[in-house]
Amino acid sequence: MNVLMVIFSQTGNTVKFAESISNSFSSQGHNVYLVTLNQFKPELLSSCQLIGVGSPCFNSQAPTPAKIFLRGLPLLKGKQAFVFATSGGAPGKVLFDMSLLLRRKGADVIAGLHTRGEVAYPAPALKGRFPGRPNQEDLRIGAAFAHYIMKKILHPANDDLIREFESHKFAWNFYSLMAYLITDGVIRLLMPKPNHLAQRCQKHGICQINCPMAAITLKPYPSVNQSRCIRCFRCVNTCPELARLLQWGWADWLIALVYNVPMERILGAIKPGDTVY
């Protein structure tokens, strides 16, 4: 079987997880095309029967670049699909978002899996969570997920379901519901705007290359289209000259209020026994 896997990843966690799934498909004798959102070409779809989409979680939902990609896909009637994600706290409805958009295109979404990924998001309240994740055990589960998917496709009558691998369905919880309120507009209002320090900027254009929303332009340099910025802070994290500065102020307190470990544990977003730091 030909499998197409399309991934959005900023710091590599989702790529690492995707590779464990892809390697497992390959070891079962399937052909896998693993591409990023930017490398994706619609022609790839025609020869693939199974499509996987992977992404990090942003603000307890699927990130806007992943949603834009999924909304722009052609019809996927007759194709089967799966979704996977990495997250550093409360994944909310990230997998459901992706599976819903795939289903709207006509795909039959058969499985979904979430794992942990080390947090590089620069808010002091969150940065550094889940160090080293996804780890070897997460990657082993990723490989098992690929076996599960193939079993579901090849033996559809077998109803031997593994709950962890069916995480694409909507889960009623605080973070899934809250995610409906946190739109990009709300995030722009609540989270700090990266300040540009002209005296440090060497005009390498790395921020422009890395911005997943193509919100930064070089002419005039560096101009940010604020209505496109999703506050992912990729420009802040990747600038070698540290020419983009964040002033967190009360925004960090707000994050700590909503995404604090005891609360995430009580609300079931972090499983018992899962080590955060």
Ligand X SMILES: Cc1cc2nc3c(=O)[nH]c(=O)nc-3n(C[C@H](O)[C@H](O)[C@H](O)COP(=O)(O)O)c2cc1C
| Closest distance of CB 210 from ligand X, Å | 11
Question: Is residue 86 a contact point for ligand X (CB under 6 A)?
Answer: yes
Among 20, 24, 80, 87, binds ligand X (CB under 6 A): 87
Question: Is residue 246 a contact point for ligand X (CB under 6 A)?
Answer: no
Question: Is residue 91 a contact point for ligand X (CB under 6 A)?
Answer: yes
| Closest distance of CB 88 from ligand X, Å | 4
Q: Residue 277: which of 122, 125, 140 has the closest Cα?
A: 125
Cβ contacts of 202 within 8 Å, gap of 6 or more = 240, 241, 243
Among 1, 2, 11, 188, binds ligand X (CB under 6 A): 11
Task: Name the 3-class secondary structure at 230.
Answer: coil
In this chain, which stretch among 3-11, 29-37, 135-143, 153-161 interacts with ligand X, using CB under 6 A? 3-11
Task: Name the 3-class secondary structure at 8.
Answer: coil
Q: Residue 98: which of 155, 58, 143, 158 has the closest Cα?
A: 58
Among 1, 2, 12, 201, binds ligand X (CB under 6 A): 12
- First-to-last C-alpha distance (Å) of the chain: 40
Beta carbon nearer to ligand X, 19 or 208: 19
Q: Residue 65: which of 32, 33, 40, 42 has the closest Cα?
A: 40
Question: Is residue 13 a contact point for ligand X (CB under 6 A)?
Answer: yes
Question: Is residue 208 a contact point for ligand X (CB under 6 A)?
Answer: no
Among 232, 235, 243, 246, binds ligand X (CB under 6 A): 232
Mark residues 43-82: x for contact with ligand X by CB under 6 A, - for none.
Answer: -------------xxxxx----------------------
Counting Cα atoms < 13 Å in the Cβ hemisphere of 199 gives: 0
Question: Which residue, judged by CB position, is nearest to ligand X in the bound state?
Answer: 117
Task: Name the 3-class secondary structure at 205.
Answer: coil
Q: Are 144 and 152 in contact (CB under 8 A)?
A: no
Strands 50-56 and 2-7: parallel
Residues in the chain, overall count: 277
Beta carbon nearer to ligand X, 153 or 251: 251
Among 5, 90, 98, 243, binds ligand X (CB under 6 A): 90
- Give me the residues that bind ligand X (CB under 6 A), please: 9-14, 56-60, 86-91, 117, 119, 121, 232
